[in-house]
Structure 1
Amino acid sequence: MTEPDCRRATDTDPAGVPFADLDPTLLRAQRTSLKWTRFPADVLPLFVAEMDFAVAPVIRDAIIARVEASDTGYLDGPGPLAPAFADYAASAWNWNVPLDHVYLATDVATGVVESLRIGWELSRRKAAAGDTPASGRIVVPTPVYPGFFEMLQEVPYEIVEVPLAPVASAAPAAAAGASAGAADDGSGSGTPDPAPHDSPELRLNLPAIARAFEAGADAFLLCNPHNPHGTVHTEAELAELARLAAAHDVFVVSDEIHAPLTHAGERFVPFAPLAAAAGALAVVATSASKGWNLAGAKCSVIVAADERANIALQELPPETVTRASILGLHASIAAFSEARDWLDRAIAQIEANATLLAELVAAQLPGVRLARPRAGYLAWLDFREAGLGSDPHAKILAEARVALNNGADFGLGGAGHVRLNLACAPDTIRAAVARIAAILPAGKVSA
């Protein structure tokens, strides 16, 4: 019997569940997460980053086995999750992770916040010792996952937003000391000119980041790959960011939660090895939660880029570990170790859904532009020329009864945009686009 091609989309989800069984009406009756309870039954929910896909059977079995063993107690460290993650990182990204550099955290948000607390304390100690003045600022590239702004309410940094920039002006060659361009460095991220319905490609604005660092910054919060655009940062871009961080003594926390969902033909580059090579203080926060649909499993890892960062992470409070879920830990081990074929099938379906969305936007949504993702399952749509006014999110929710994410919540550059979840049955995407098309000015006239 011939094995199915893991990179080929089929009529079922990655776990083999027929798409008909992923009808939103059915899922609303079966599931209890906020995706299915926040809005009334007539609203199609495509906002929060949860998949509609069924969990991989091997992960389901791992959770059931722990429950059957009544193994539901507290954790004291990453234990077997450290080698499982390290093996995956080596296989997927050629990143050799020392096991003692891996720390356990409740979720990636906790990992980011607790790492930044340590960074804040380190900058205060340096200032007290007279080494370098503390600025109290953290630089964030925007528009970006709105959870970043919620996380940063827990730490006393002043946020400096640096909007992403079009490829031509964002290239690393524009920054001092860089020699490679951002658009095509052999990483698989070089692209032709966008189609009429595609948004211009936006990338890290390294010259602006350099200026922000020169003005004084203690920390930088990186989203790698970038959410909401699904941008896969190139090695040249990340190496230049690491160089700048080292030169200006800026602590970098890299959220790499979407990294396992890098699309075919793209190359994900973890930030930690580049930071270590440049001498930049950095940590990575990541988990299996997005890649394998384990958003509520509450288990993540924080990885030190080098020994200096490893020493810093030893100051993490004990609750960072003990609040993690033992069920999430075993689910994550199964994901990294045994569910890579499920992930490949998920990526194939997401890519097919992204292509479908692009076709539907071009055919049915005049004035709308799409940023095609290269990682993750989130699509970023520009509605500023679609005739829905300054708040298209509110119009789409109220009139089309489709719940998306409001681009205004993503920081500078986000207003007039929405974010849509692609990890669902293709018919769900078709239904969402049809509903939105019906409320656009052109749609109302034709109706």
Structure 2
Amino acid sequence: MPCDIPASAAANPLRQLSLAQLRQRTSMKWRTYPQEVLPLWVAEMDVPLAEPVAQAIRDAVTLGDTGYPAGTGYAEALAAFASKRWDWDGLAVERTAIVPDVMLGVVEMIKLVSGPGDPVVVNSPVYPPFYQFVESMGRQVVEAPLGADGRIDLGALEGTFGRVHQGADRPVYLLCSPHNPTGTVHTADELTAVAALAQAYGVRVVADEIHAPVVAPGTVFVPYLSVPGAESGLSLLSASKAWNLAGLKAAVAVAGPDAADDLARLPEEVGHGPSHVGVIAHTAALRDGGAWLDGLLMGLDDNRRLLAGLLAESLPAVRYEPSQATFLAWLDCRSLDLGDDPAAVFLERGKVALNSGIPFGTGGAGFVRLNLATNPELITEAVRRMAAALD
């Protein structure tokens, strides 16, 4: 069902913190660059914690409840959220496991279904840690680039599956859904076609669905495991991105019915990695943070429109298509003639930190990724600085 924002949505959390307040933060986004640099890069949101999450953390600290994680509360909250938001009742708690975070969960899922040297297919341009984590575990990254429309190119994907099937025992497809950096939301038809191709060529699918709760109003998110043919798939989900909980580590691995035995082989020690307080926070977010999330989604949609208008006025050569999901904007700066890495120019001349498109792989050169999850005033200032950098 579409993500329709109810009238009871909370106030926009993106308007609640000033630049002075944000500069008091000590996390990566705010401490990597000098103070004169405006940071719109790494995927942290400039928001206060949702009150239900903050209260759950306060309660845990008051109780001294800071031991090791236990139980299935997180998975149960995720299943209820999936049923309500995505009309998906197929998230079976008995086929889940708690993992430290989504990317470490991806690593563990790939280990379960492949071996050293096996290929892992990705759709470039894509989240840079896909390359880093996959290569560090001794697998080979094979690109099946997105189409010119930013969507999965099923023809290119089939060709790639055919090649990896010929030369490997246990190939894997690492699906990014919704896609980072483009914000594309894959349709049920696209995902069904992916599942059919994976079955035909003996490719196991591991889906990173960390941005699943962050979809624009009117957009339908389709869980990969909900489509026909995806029964052997594995998925990673988390409240991390939607409620800004990256520093409170926890995620859920979910197996399709035919992958339950694979997930059952997950080493016990993996479950020792998540933070118990993180599990508490993520559970509270999914269970009680819906109104806060709705306010965020409205604010992000406002910011997408704001950015589109600012670019049209001040940087018309930059191509930007407001995304269907995530809080990230993928900007095509190739017409600016700034070379392969325009982010370096905007940082040096404009004092705006953006993500370079180069680490996102094939198709990323000449692009930058901008983090929309901030106060609209900071987006306005960032575009002003970017335009000034070209003078």
TM more than 0.5: yes
Equivalent position to 2:150, from 202, 205, 215? 202
Please name the residue that 2:200 is paired with: 247
Please name the residue that 2:101 is paired with: 107
Please name the residue that 2:163 is paired with: 215
1:150-204 residue CA offsets vs partner (Å, 9 max, x unmatched): 21123222111111103xxxxxxxxxxxxxxxxxxxxxxxxxxxxxxxxxx3200
Secondary structure of 2:131's aligned partner? helix
Equivalent position to 2:220, from 236, 255, 267? 267
Please name the residue that 2:83 is paired with: 90
Do the aligned residues in 1 keep the contact of 2:330 with 2:369 (CA within 8 Å)? yes
Please name the residue that 1:312 is paired with: 262
Do the aligned residues in 2 keep the contact of 1:245 with 1:280 (CA within 8 Å)? no
- Letter of the structure 1 residue corresponding to residue 158 of structure 2: A
- Letter of the structure 2 residue corresponding to residue 26 of structure 1: Q
* 2:112 aligned with 1:162: no
Do the aligned residues in 2 keep the contact of 1:422 with 1:429 (CA within 8 Å)? yes
Please name the residue that 2:3 is paired with: none
Do the aligned residues in 1 keep the contact of 2:42 with 2:355 (CA within 8 Å)? yes
1:7 shift after superposition:
5.8
Do the aligned residues in 2 keep the contact of 1:255 with 1:286 (CA within 8 Å)? yes
Do the aligned residues in 1 keep the contact of 2:72 with 2:93 (CA within 8 Å)? no
Equivalent position to 2:18, from 23, 34, 48? 23
- Letter of the structure 2 residue corresponding to residue 332 of structure 1: H
Specify whether residues 7 and 59 from structure 1 end up closer, same or farther in structure 2 by C-alpha distance, changes over 3 A only. closer
Displaced runs of 4 or more, over 6 A: none
Do the aligned residues in 1 keep the contact of 2:112 with 2:263 (CA within 8 Å)? yes
Please name the residue that 1:188 is paired with: none
Specify whether residues 382 and 7 from structure 1 end up closer, same or farther in structure 2 by C-alpha distance, changes over 3 A only. farther
Unmatched 5+ stretches in structure 1: 125-134, 167-200
CA distance in 2, matches of 1:54, 1:147: 26
Do the aligned residues in 1 keep the contact of 2:105 with 2:253 (CA within 8 Å)? yes
Equivalent position to 1:293, from 244, 266, 270? 244
Specify whether residues 374 and 224 from structure 1 end up closer, same or farther in structure 2 by C-alpha distance, changes over 3 A only. same
TM-score, length basis structure 1: 0.82
Q: Which sits farther off after the overlay, 342-351 or 363-372?
A: 363-372
Specify whether residues 338 and 311 from structure 1 end up closer, same or farther in structure 2 by C-alpha distance, changes over 3 A only. same
Secondary structure of 1:354's aligned partner? helix
- Letter of the structure 2 residue corresponding to residue 397 of structure 1: L
Please name the residue that 1:153 is paired with: 135
Equivalent position to 1:322, from 272, 275, 284? 272
Please name the residue that 1:186 is paired with: none
1:261-317 residue CA offsets vs partner (Å, 9 max, x unmatched): 11111100000122xx316521010100001111111000000011x3111011112
Please name the residue that 2:74 is paired with: 81
CA distance in 1, matches of 2:210, 2:332: 24
Please name the residue that 2:118 is paired with: 136
CA distance in 1, matches of 2:41, 2:7: 30
Please name the residue that 1:59 is paired with: 53
Please name the residue that 2:235 is paired with: 284
CA distance in 2, matches of 1:354, 1:416: 21
1:218-237 residue CA offsets vs partner (Å, 9 max, x unmatched): 10000000011110101110
Do the aligned residues in 2 keep the contact of 1:165 with 1:205 (CA within 8 Å)? yes
- Letter of the structure 2 residue corresponding to residue 235 of structure 1: A
Do the aligned residues in 1 keep the contact of 2:183 with 2:328 (CA within 8 Å)? yes
Specify whether residues 230 and 6 from structure 1 end up closer, same or farther in structure 2 by C-alpha distance, changes over 3 A only. farther
1:388 shift after superposition:
2.2
CA distance in 2, matches of 1:208, 1:389: 27
Please name the residue that 1:120 is paired with: 114
Secondary structure of 1:163's aligned partner? coil
Please name the residue that 1:367 is paired with: 317
Specify whether residues 438 and 258 from structure 1 end up closer, same or farther in structure 2 by C-alpha distance, changes over 3 A only. same
Please name the residue that 2:168 is paired with: none
RMSD across aligned positions (CA): 1.6
1:101-140 residue CA offsets vs partner (Å, 9 max, x unmatched): 111000001110000011114xx8xxxxxxxxxx821110
- Letter of the structure 2 residue corresponding to residue 153 of structure 1: E
Do the aligned residues in 2 keep the contact of 1:140 with 1:222 (CA within 8 Å)? yes
Secondary structure of 1:104's aligned partner? strand
Q: Percent identity?
A: 42
Specify whether residues 154 and 387 from structure 1 end up closer, same or farther in structure 2 by C-alpha distance, changes over 3 A only. closer
Specify whether residues 74 and 238 from structure 1 end up closer, same or farther in structure 2 by C-alpha distance, changes over 3 A only. same
1:255 shift after superposition:
0.4
1:375 shift after superposition:
0.6
1:333 shift after superposition:
1.0
Larger-Rg structure: 1
1:25 shift after superposition:
3.2
1:5 shift after superposition:
2.9
Please name the residue that 1:187 is paired with: none
Structure-to-structure mapping, 1:331-346, within 5 angstroms: 331-346=281-296
- Letter of the structure 2 residue corresponding to residue 319 of structure 1: E
